[in-house]
Structure 1
Amino acid sequence: MSEAAGPTEQTLHGLYREHRSWLEHWLYQRLGNRWDAADLSQDTFLRVLASPQVLSELREPRAYLLTVGKRLLINFHTRRSLERAYLDALANLPEARVPSPEQRWLLLETLQALDELLDGLPAVVRRAFLWSQLEGLSYAQIAERLAVSERTVKRYMAQAYEHCLLVEL
């Protein structure tokens, strides 16, 4: 570490040096895979680096790293679950309709981005939004599936659109 490095770099370097192996071990115990644990550990420190103001105010580094690591672990499992569901759906397609590896990757990335975008919405709102956008169902059809009024579906859709707009800001 050079003397020209600022306090943020020095603090991050010290945090990384002191806690990386502990965090990686904690993640490994939950994943059973050293490569994924190492990746998530690196992602955790990248998140910390992305918010330097937190770094200067950090009093309990392990608790903070654990919180960030748990969130990334949840995202990791969600992503894996989406991938499994997608691959199961692909297995049921006729061979002529199976997308290329490049198309598969793009579709998985899109699914992950959509999942992250809708994260935080109540399940019923999320379901209504996806039925409308992906299946092209009308509000009346969604209302029937959910056993609610069309007015409620309109409220759900407004909530979903507002959520998407606020996330994009």
Structure 2
Amino acid sequence: MSGVAKPHQTVETLYTEHHGWLRQWLGQRVGCPALAADLAHDTFLRLLARPRSLNNTHSARGYLRTVAERLCIDLWRRRAVEQAWLEVLAARPEEVEISPEDHAVIVETFCEIDEMLRRLPPKVARAFLLAQIDGLTYKDIAHRLGVSERTVKSYMAKAMLECMKINARYQGARG
């Protein structure tokens, strides 16, 4: 069991020495002390999930800042996706009743799709969007992207596989 305790001691030491600094740094980035505290907490949770040995204050703060910046970017992306969804709802002619639970699931799904599109190669993501959003045929997509129709089919297969992974995670979470 002593092998398990060492990473936690390292995280404990990092937390003790750098939590206040990180919370203050995040507070300047996000402008909200409560949000900064949450993000600092999440930063150290990430470190607990993947313990690292950091040799000095400079490397520790650099690593913590990198993790915290990524969490900020994720937060801002999620907020942008949620805002876009709210704008779509507001533009609808009839009022749509959506429960808070359904709203959270919809926003989370949009965020996962956004993340999926960012992971895919640009042409694969573009082909997927042209097919799903613009309703273009594979032939039209091939022409727009300057590739063969067979390549578009390959792109779509890759994108659909990623969609199936999202669906499988969603189904698994529902029980």
Structure-2 separation of matches of 1:147 and 1:117 = 20
How many angstroms does 1:33 deviate by? Answer: 1.1
How many angstroms does 1:20 deviate by? Answer: 0.9
Q: Which residue of 2 aligns with 1:58?
A: 54
Deviations 1:140-168 (A, max 9, x none): 34345x45344353353355457678999
* 1:3-42 pair list within 5 angstroms: 6-42=5-41
Unaligned runs of 5+ in 1: none
SS of residue matched to 2:35: helix
Structure-1 separation of matches of 2:130 and 2:42 = 33
Structure-2 separation of matches of 1:38 and 1:131 = 40
Structure-2 separation of matches of 1:90 and 1:150 = 37
In structure 2, relative to structure 1, the CA distance for the partners of 1:43 and 1:31 (3 Å cut) is same
- With normalisation by structure 1, the TM-score equals 0.77
How many angstroms does 1:45 deviate by? Answer: 0.7
* 1:104-123 pair list within 5 angstroms: 104-123=103-122
Q: Which residue of 2 aligns with 1:127?
A: 126
CA RMSD of aligned residues (A): 3.0
Confirm whether residue 138 of structure 1 aligns to residue 137 of structure 2. yes
How many aligned residue pairs are there? 161
Structure-1 separation of matches of 2:161 and 2:100 = 34
Structure-2 separation of matches of 1:80 and 1:73 = 10
Deviations 1:102-136 (A, max 9, x none): 22111001111222233333444323224435666
* 1:73-88 pair list within 5 angstroms: 73-88=72-87
- With normalisation by structure 2, the TM-score equals 0.75
SS of residue matched to 1:112: helix
Unaligned runs of 5+ in 2: 169-175
